[in-house]
Amino acid sequence: MLKRLFNLSAWIQPLIAIVIGLLGGAIAIMLIGGSVVETYTEMWKGAFGNFFYFTNTLTRATPLILVGLGVSIAFRAGFFNMGSEGQMILGALSSAMVALYLPGPPLFKLLAAMLSGILAGGIWSVFAGWLDAKFRMNLIITTLLLNYIAALFAGYLVAYPLKDNSGSAALAQTMMIDKGVWLPKLFQGMSIHGGFIIAIALAILLFLFIKYTVAGYEVRMLGYNPLFAAYGGVNRRKVMLTSMFASGGFAGLAGAVEVLGMQYRYTDGMISNPGYAWSGIMATLLSGAHPLGTALASILLAALQTGGMGVERNTDIPLQISSVIQSLLILFVTAKISFTLWKRRKGGKGDAASS
């Protein structure tokens, strides 16, 4: 039972990728004349050096986990949802609007704001799924293009009709939401908030859903062998639309959590500039779309980002060293997927999504 619950491949694979990335980063550090030991020591301190830095890393990982879980659902069903950024943006914007303008007690507004984020992201995602089901439009292309529409639409709203004009009005942003609607902090004086607990709980629940439910089995079967799934009576259209809605819902929740737990308003570029969505997608690919592995990979990627800030503060090595490491992780993922496709074409046993 324990062996099945904690599938080693889901945990070890992200660690192997990180080791490869760190080795490549070490070469880059040596090429520019830096000390590998000193740089990685500062990176560790910046990510996990004390409780404050550790909680900062977990805070950074929270939206990555939620986005990654959403992508993993679609990936398990055999679909690539590349629209997490747009879904996250609309989730963030809608949650801010509900938190600002919906009447009612604070707890009600908080729950309604999170639900609105889920619905906004889910509807935007399922729209791309509907285009695939109805018109056979390529899902990767439509989800990518919908990112631009969502970002520009949200940018227009906060730059004009919804812009906060109460202060200097230098930024395109909404008004700040009431403090009673904020997600609670887990520790006083720390950035980590209740969204992290939500993300971890959903990772566990998603693992149990994929592993032990009939609907989860249909998702896995459709992703692994569509022809066999169709023969077994799995409705591709239904599973695709459901999985795409859930995928976008997770991304929308990630945006809502970022607004309600960290930013307390929607600001133009707050989702796109940090690259939350793409880091979440990378976490999913590193873990082979395993929910628990995705959570681990998200924390490791967040540690690279927060640790990179520590490197830049305390050494002569630029922050971009973390980008070098993440680029090597992308190469690792690309090589893994390419090898899997090559094996399948050769008729060998495919690299099924671990379950």
pLDDT at position 324 is: 86
Q: How confident is the model at residue 353 (pLDDT cuts 50, 70, 90)?
A: very low
Looking at residue 217, its pLDDT comes to 93
Query: pLDDT tens, 80-130?
Result: 999 999 999 999 999 999 999 999 999 999 999 999 999 999 999 999 999
Q: Which CATH class is domain 9-14+37-343?
A: mainly alpha
Give the separation between CA 292 and CA 354, rounded to whole angstroms. 11
What was the pLDDT predicted at 126? 97
Each residue's pLDDT tens digit, 169-192: 578 999 999 999 999 999 999 999
Nearest to 220 by CA among 131, 203, 228: 228
DSSP 160-205: TTT---SS---S-B-PPPPGGGSPPBSSTT-S-BHHHHHHHHHHHH
In this structure, the number of other CB atoms found within 10 A of the CB of residue 38 comes to 15
Instruction: Kindly report the average pLDDT of the chain as a whole number.
Output: 89
Helices and strands counted in the chain (H then E): 14, 0
- Tell me which of 246 and 308 has the higher pLDDT: 246
Q: How confident is the model at residue 285, as a pLDDT?
A: 87
pTM for the model: 0.92
The predicted-structure confidence for 43-67, as pLDDT tens digits, reads as follows: 999 999 999 999 999 999 999 999 9
Q: Is the pLDDT of residue 349 over 90?
A: no
CA distance 191 to 175: 21
The tens digit of pLDDT for each residue in 273-303 reads 999 999 999 999 888 899 998 999 899 899 9
Domain ranges of the chain: 9-14+37-343
Nearest to 197 by CA among 59, 6, 10: 59
CB contact at 8 A, 271 and 92: yes
Helices 194-212 and 236-258 cross at an angle (nearest 10°) of 170
User: Residue range 203-232: average pLDDT?
Assistant: 92
DSSP string, 136-152: ---HHHHHHHHHHHHHH
| Range of lowest pLDDT (7-11, 132-136, 234-238) | 7-11
- Looking at residue 14, its pLDDT comes to 64
